[in-house]
Amino acid sequence: MIVVTGGAGFIGSNVLAALEARGEGPLVCCDWLGSEGKWRNIAKRRLTEIVTPEDLDGFITANFHAVTAVYHLGAISETTAIDGDLVVQRNFHFSKMLWNHCARLDIPFIYASSAATYGDGEQGFTDTNDIAENAKLRPLNLYGWSKWLFDSWVLEHGVNDAPPVWAGLRFFNVYGQNEYHKGAMQSLVSKIVHAHQPGQPVKLFKSHKNGFADGEQLRDFVYVDDVVDVMLWLGARADSGGIVNVGTGSARSFADLARAAVRACGDEPILEFIDMPESIRNAYQYYTQADMSRLRALGYNRDFTSLEDGVTKYVQQFLRAEDKFQ
């Protein structure tokens, strides 16, 4: 029995789809379905159980003999979150509970960290797993700090009583199918395609930092299929991967992303630049690019989907399709 937390969410539902396609299971989805239509993300899945997060501790305890792995994607992931107590409870304490269960049951634990742990990138984007280097990171928002807090606990305390196989994945900018319930937190690809009208401009933020032209803010955009493949590859290893970056290793501009999205819709892009809201300027990352050398050194040698290919697949096979769900 494989438990996927956040299983009705964006990445979690894609993990469930991939596990099912590989014949893995039985599968358990841990999540709140709420009222945003998240149930559609798992409507095609053959699930053994759906468990709410508050019931998961008891569920694992009652089914300790059957649970064989945990993929932990559940979290408050909004970068604008402000309730510190709630974020710590869900992103830190809940993760520690699952870590301890997997260590006690001697089963793999693969969890989602975030590139938000790197803050403004001043300390670089290298997943060294060195306690002193990790301590230098300064996340820019509450969400990033909560992910850094759990990573720090794992490196300093968790490894003393660890699951037999574990990995924490620092996701960079993930985009792809099944993110539609996320509202303002959807990827720019989804927002552009939903708003696109032929002949109308795509609006991007101006740059408010020297050295970056308007629309040339850079991100490491990674397609969700690649993220899922890395997660399952790490979960199937015989030993631990540690904290690992998951991006492509190539930074691309928001202008590149917008052009790819509009061209995937069959039109030529027109870009317009607007002021960035002052409320987010101080916490805005102008550059992210994953150092992928650690994952490669572990033996992962598969190619990552290019920005143009990933955006085209997402737009044409999902966003513009009659059935847009995985």
Query: What is the distance between the alpha carbons of residues 226 and 8, in angstroms, rounded to a whole number?
Result: 19
Peptide bond into 26 cis (omega under 30): yes
Virtual CA dihedral for 60, 63, 66, 67, nearest 10 degrees? 0
Respond yes or no: is residue 191 known to be catalytic. no
Burial class (CB in 10 A: 0-12, 13-18, 19+), 302: exposed
Strands 252-253, 218-219: pairing kind: antiparallel
Instruction: Name the catalytic one among 182, 191, 313, 324.
Output: 182
Q: Of 249, 226, 241, 224, which Cα lies nearest the Cα of 169?
A: 241
- Residue 2 · residue 71 · CB < 8 Å: yes
Query: What is the distance between the alpha carbons of residues 312 and 189, in angstroms, rounded to a whole number?
Result: 10
Instruction: Name the catalytic one among 71, 111, 143, 175.
Output: 143
Respond yes or no: is residue 209 known to be catalytic. no
Token pair belonging to 61: 């305890």
Q: Of 55, 10, 160, which Cα lies nearest the Cα of 99?
A: 160
Q: Which residues are catalytically annotated?
A: 143, 182
